[in-house]
Structures are given as structure tokens and as C-alpha cells.
Amino acid sequence: MNLENGDNIEKWFDELVKPQSEVQKNEQIGYKVVTVYLASGGEMVVNDVSSVSEYNNERGGLALELYGKGKTGKSKKIVFNLTSDNIVGYSIDEL
């Protein structure tokens, strides 16, 4: 998915973002909650993340890659470009 073409990022993340009560149910199975802090002062919280990795992307920028399962049970991958002016940091909470 190319988010630069005007796709709605909130709609795309909807499959991975779940209410906090559902996150608490997953505490026994080792999922993570990743919070990405935005330059606008907001934050994007992604629940039910099974693995996280940081790497240099094909353009030489630092990227954060999240893996998890969506509501449909299908595997999902989300990639954040950490060198973007819109992202100021992130945190990972182990459940």
C-alpha cells in the first residue's frame, strides 16, 4: 500500500488497532503495543504486534516494521519511515 497517494492511514490501521480491553486479553500470549509519536503532538497506537524490527530501507532511511494479525486473522505488516518529519519517536510496551 502506498500511503503517499492519499490513502487514509486511519482506515488502514483500523484492522490492527483494537480497544484496550482486547489488548489486555492478549497479555498471556506476548503481544506488544507500539506507540508512534507524531510531530503534530498526536500518537498512533498499534495493538497486537507480534514482532518489531528496525532497519535501513531501500532509500537509506531508518524504518520501523511491525507485524501482527488483523481482525480477519490475516497477517499484516506496517512500515513507518522514521526519518520522516512527521514522526518524532516510538515506544514499545511488552505485554
Residue percentage of the chain with pLDDT more than 90: 44
Task: Record the pTM.
Answer: 0.67
Smallest CA-to-CA distance from 78 within 49, 40, 42, 38 is with 49
Residues 76-88: tens digit of each pLDDT: 999 999 998 999 9
